Amino acid sequence: MWSPYVELLKNNSLETILIHSGQHDTLGLQAQKTFNITPDYYCSLIDDDKLKLGDLVSKLISEFTKAFYKILPDLILVHGDTTTAFSASVAAFLQNITIGHIEAGLRTSRFEYPFPEEGYRRAISRFTTLHFAPTPKSARNLHEENIHKNVYICGNTVVDALNHINHTPDSMELRKIRDFIGINKMILVTCHRRESYGEPLINLCNSLKNIANNNKYVNIVWPVHNNPRIYDTVKNLEHEKILLVEPQDYNNFIKLLHMADIIITDSGGVMEESAVIGKPTLVLRSETERPEALELDSVRLVAFIFNELEDLVNRWLINPPKSEPSNIFGMGDSGIEIAEIINKYFMEKHGN
């Protein structure tokens, strides 16, 4: 995800190098185009969707190790709980490079869930020097793990990114989606997590068909993740009121969020975005590392209890929950604060 601290760090006269891990190259190119950024260094990573998780981590650590030896950074910034963030942190730790973690302190109550993200984020925190926590709750999570030094509550850069989106004319694909929806209500679906693979994903497809059959004036749009474990199951979902589309660039996807009457997702990022925008959202998780969103009437966890999912959708289509834009994840100035903290850290470190 683009974040404004990249440009803000450069504006503070800090040499800033952006590394592309090589994962999800198509999605990466979309983000680069949307936010007008160009990576300075590309890792060599081929067929990442086909690599076993251990092989992927090993490959990424090797690639980041080579990159850091070449670049010799004083600090690396990692973002979130991805395999990329974890691998880069390990490589930096082994070279004794200072680490800053953006979105630090997100936690569920179970080390193994979600897998592998919860393990990643907890491990990253042990290597990190500068912890950029998005909310007071995430900062408290770090304190409870005896991490007290250099913990900063900065808000979430997802708000910055949402504010950065330009209101450009609709693409041809988005116009086709609008034509498909017509005057009907719209349900937007995303699903990509490992715990959704297999039977949960099949059951989700069946529930969406039930929802489409039971609601005459509703259409469903699903940007299908290109991971074969998702795509190979979802491609068989055929229904005249369900439209399967390619993964959308960020600009298009945010427009889809605004268009939606209900969002069904297993994505933490989408959960944040829908809360910020103010959209009724049903989350396909049994617990979340973003509990702040659950304080809103419009956000519910439904796990993989699909009769509950169908019941809530049917009720919300008739009687929507109270939903309005929220600032629970920050005011959109996270990038500014992160850049200032990093600049101050280097000034103090070098005695300026």
Residue 164, in any domain of the structure: no
Residue 192, in any domain of the structure: yes
Same-domain pairing of 144 and 30: yes
Catalytically annotated residues: 81, 103, 117, 192, 194, 225
pLDDT value for 1: 43
Residue 237, in any domain of the structure: yes
Same-domain pairing of 222 and 313: yes
Same-domain pairing of 231 and 300: yes
- The half-sphere exposure of 79 on its side-chain side, counting CA atoms within 13 A, is 17
Q: What is the CATH number of the domain that holds 40?
A: 3.40.50.2000
Same-domain pairing of 115 and 146: yes
Positive/negative CA dihedral, 240, 241, 242, 248: positive
**One digit per residue, pLDDT tens: the chain, 352 residues?**
445 556 666 566 678 888 888 766 555 555 666 666 777 888 877 655 567 888 889 999 999 999 999 999 999 999 988 899 999 999 999 999 999 999 999 999 888 888 899 999 999 999 999 999 999 999 999 999 999 999 999 999 889 888 877 677 888 899 999 999 999 999 999 998 888 888 999 999 999 999 999 999 999 999 998 888 888 999 889 899 999 999 988 889 999 999 999 999 999 999 999 999 999 999 999 889 999 999 999 999 999 999 999 999 999 999 999 988 899 999 888 988 998 899 889 888 776 6
Domain that holds residue 50: 5-156+330-349
Q: Side chain identity at 225, as an amino acid letter?
A: H
State how far the Cα of 78 lies from the Cα of 94, in Å rounded to an integer.
Answer: 15
Same-domain pairing of 341 and 268: no
Positive/negative CA dihedral, 120, 205, 231, 27: negative
pLDDT value for 11: 60
Same-domain pairing of 139 and 237: no
Residue 165, in any domain of the structure: no
pTM for the structure as a whole: 0.89
Task: Domain count for the chain, please give it.
Answer: 2
Same-domain pairing of 176 and 292: yes
Structure tokens at 84: 């990329």
Judged on CB neighbours under 10 Å (0-12, 13-18, 19+), 351 is: exposed
pLDDT value for 332: 87
Residue 166, in any domain of the structure: no
Same-domain pairing of 237 and 145: no
Same-domain pairing of 186 and 143: no
pLDDT value for 147: 97
In whole angstroms, what separates CA 22 from the centre of its chain?
Answer: 17
Same-domain pairing of 62 and 105: yes
pLDDT value for 170: 83
Residue 63, in any domain of the structure: yes
pLDDT value for 2: 45
pLDDT value for 182: 94
C-beta of residue 151 within 8 angstroms of C-beta of residue 327: no
Residue 88, in any domain of the structure: yes
Same-domain pairing of 133 and 268: no
